[in-house]
């Protein structure tokens, strides 16, 4: 009994240590954006000056990053969910080859993918200087995560039997996809959406090469702030990033929670009357 408690305490202490190792640098960075003097620390006092300065000078990058993340989520849903469904229904070698090819943008460095996009589409001046050019790169990078998340859920259910049962009751393809496929892969869709939004908001390597002075995203602006040694500005930038991304993550996690099924209690008097 005591041995079990000791192991539990050891595991709990190890978990706290790992969490502290990950969280403490983030907390220190956020506090740096709220202090009057970064080098003095909290003794110099707290202020919102740096946060307001970031908001006045960089709010366009914040809204651009948020818009790109949401647009990337919509496109990966429209492309990734049907593609995962097709891969789940097809068990051949071609489907497996396509599934592996989808992972190439993740395996290849982001700079190499961005360079390929510039070589292929850099001649389209209007497209090259627009935010849509960055969006294409984000979709290429995040689409595999959506496909894999949905495919993992669809692979563990007997999808053909469910669809055959629905078809025998007269349901067409559109109705089967809406009422059978989508509800069963709901958790996979939400897990993929969580990864797509976070990866798009924080993507830097590819975006750094694809962006222009008029399409600067939040991570690129954050790198510029730190590169110019404006540590308070960069830390305040980090704080605003967390204020933007945290509500999205909490909302997606709330949607991903399994729904409770409520069963109505039978009325014995109604059964006797019948």
> 232 lies in a domain?
yes
Summarize pLDDT for 18-38 with one digit per residue, the tens. Answer: 988 888 887 887 787 888 877
Host domain of residue 108: 58-256
pLDDT category at 258 given cuts 50, 70, 90 is low
| Residue 82 belongs to domain with CATH number | 1.10.3720.10
Work out how many domains the chain is built from and give that number.
Answer: 1
Going from the C-alpha of 178 to that of each of 53, 63, 143, the distances in angstroms are 47, 32, 21
- C-beta neighbour count of 29 within 10 angstroms: 17
φ, ψ at 32 (rounded to 5°): -65, -30
> 262 lies in a domain?
no
Summarize pLDDT for 78-124 with one digit per residue, the tens. Answer: 999 999 888 888 877 887 888 788 888 888 888 888 888 888 888 88
Instruction: State the residue for tokens 């001649």.
Output: 123
> 144 lies in a domain?
yes
pLDDT at 68 over 80: yes
pLDDT given for residue 43 in this prediction: 76
pLDDT at 263 over 50: no
pLDDT given for residue 229 in this prediction: 62
Average pLDDT rounded to a whole number, residues 158-184: 81
């Amino acid at each position: 009994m005591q041995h079990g408690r000791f192991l539990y305490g050891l595991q709990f202490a190890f978990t706290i240590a790992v969490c502290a190792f990950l969280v403490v640098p983030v907390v220190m960075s956020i506090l740096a954006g709220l202090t009057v003097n970064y080098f003095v620390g909290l003794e110099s006092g707290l202020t919102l000056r740096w946060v307001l300065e970031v908001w006045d000078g960089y709010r366009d990058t914040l809204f651009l990053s948020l818009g790109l993340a949401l647009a990337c989520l919509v496109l990966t849903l429209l492309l990734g969910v049907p593609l995962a469904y097709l891969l789940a229904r097809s068990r051949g070698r071609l489907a497996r080859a396509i599934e592996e090819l989808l992972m190439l943008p993740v395996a290849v460095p982001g700079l190499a993918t961005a360079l390929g996009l510039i070589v292929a589409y850099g001649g389209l001046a209007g497209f090259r200087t627009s935010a849509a050019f960055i969006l294409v790169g984000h979709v290429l990078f995040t689409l595999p995560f959506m496909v894999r998340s949905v495919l993992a859920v669809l692979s563990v259910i007997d999808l053909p039997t469910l669809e055959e049962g629905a078809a025998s009751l007269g349901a067409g393809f559109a109705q089967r996809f809406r009422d059978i496929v989508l509800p069963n892969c709901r958790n996979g869709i939400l897990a993929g959406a969580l990864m797509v939004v976070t990866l798009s908001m924080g993507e830097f390597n590819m975006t750094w090469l694809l962006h222009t002075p008029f399409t600067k995203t939040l991570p690129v602006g954050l790198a510029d702030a730190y590169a110019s040694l404006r540590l308070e500005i960069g830390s305040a930038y980090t704080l605003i990033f967390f204020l933007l991304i945290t509500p999205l993550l909490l909302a997606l996690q709330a949607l991903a929670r399994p729904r409770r099924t409520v069963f109505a209690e039978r009325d014995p008097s109604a059964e006797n009357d019948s």
